[in-house]
Amino acid sequence: MVCTIRLEQISSSPPFASGGLPQTLEVYGRASNDCSSVRVSIAVAGPGSPTITNAVVPIGFPPDPGSDLPGLFVYRVALPGQLGLQCGDTLHVEAICIDDPQCRDVRDMVIDCKPAPAGGGGGTGTNGGWSPTRCFWTGVSAAMTLLAALVTLGIGIALMVPVTNAAAIVLFGIAAAAWALWAFWCGPGTCVRLAVLCWVFKRALILSIPTLGFTLSALVILLLVGYGSIAGILVDRLRRMGCPIPSALQPLTQIPL
């Protein structure tokens, strides 16, 4: 039989913390008899997002004639209270066979609380904020919308199209709202905020350079110089604060949103 792994469920059971927040997680999966153990990793969102936990889990082979895969693994892990994960949050789970790294399963799985905590299992994380999953996607949304606004502005100025410039203004408004939401509910540190802005302006500069192929307008050149200058100022600020400097050649997930 070809090595096979199948993630089946990620759940939490009582006792729950204040507000109905899960304190433990259990990842259930099955595997073929070619695999003796699996490495299970759980991240707050998609690939490249911050990892909550990572461990090697042995596979047992209890009698179960009703299953197509004889191996069973259960990974139990205690959650740090500051994560603020809630029932119903989606986590990114990977299971990789130790005997054959090509044998794996990767899924986005919803935390299933059984039984559901009293009060519906809602709640807030630290500082009254959101869980890491929501914070990750809110931060990504804010950054990518701002990047789209900056690039759209460059295209609008290069082509002298009022509609494109109007679209850029709308995107700036959406980006500001998403940024405010992320900053208020997730409380990212100064290093993280500056790193995100630095990455955005670096990317905006790179993606806007091709506009010079349409026109050598002084406004376009001034805009590019502005993007580069802001990125340079942010790099200097990050360096002075002792913060990691993001690379424009790597994805946004290099920053712990």
Q: How many Cα atoms sit within 13 Å of 191 on the Cβ side? A: 11
Number of H helices, E strands in the chain: 4, 7
Question: Do 8 and 28 contact (CB within 8 A), yes or no?
Answer: yes
CA distance 13 to 83: 17
Report pLDDT for 127: 38
Report pLDDT for 120: 47
Report pLDDT for 123: 40
Report pLDDT for 115: 81
Report pLDDT for 177: 93
Phi, psi angle pair for 253, to nearest 5°: -65, -5
Beta bridge partners of 76: 26
Report pLDDT for 98: 94
Task: Note the pTM of the prediction, 2 decimals.
Answer: 0.61
Question: Do 38 and 56 contact (CB within 8 A), yes or no?
Answer: yes
Report pLDDT for 81: 61
Phi, psi angle pair for 91, to nearest 5°: -120, 155
Say if residue 85 is exposed, middle or buried (CB neighbours under 10 Å; 0-12, 13-18, 19+).
buried
Cis preceding linkage at 162, omega within 30: no
Helix (H) or strand (E) holding 132, with range, is helix 132-159
CA distance 202 to 254: 14
Q: How wide is the angle at C-alpha 75 spanned by C-alphas 108 and 93, nearest 5°? A: 15
Q: What is the pLDDT along the chain (257 residues), one digit of tens a residue?
A: 689 999 999 999 888 887 788 889 999 999 998 899 999 999 877 777 778 889 999 999 887 666 788 999 999 998 876 566 778 888 889 999 999 999 999 998 889 988 877 654 444 333 345 667 788 888 999 999 999 999 999 999 988 888 999 999 999 999 999 999 888 888 777 888 899 999 999 999 999 999 888 777 888 899 999 999 999 999 999 888 888 899 999 888 888 77
Report pLDDT for 201: 97
Question: Do 93 and 42 contact (CB within 8 A), yes or no?
Answer: yes
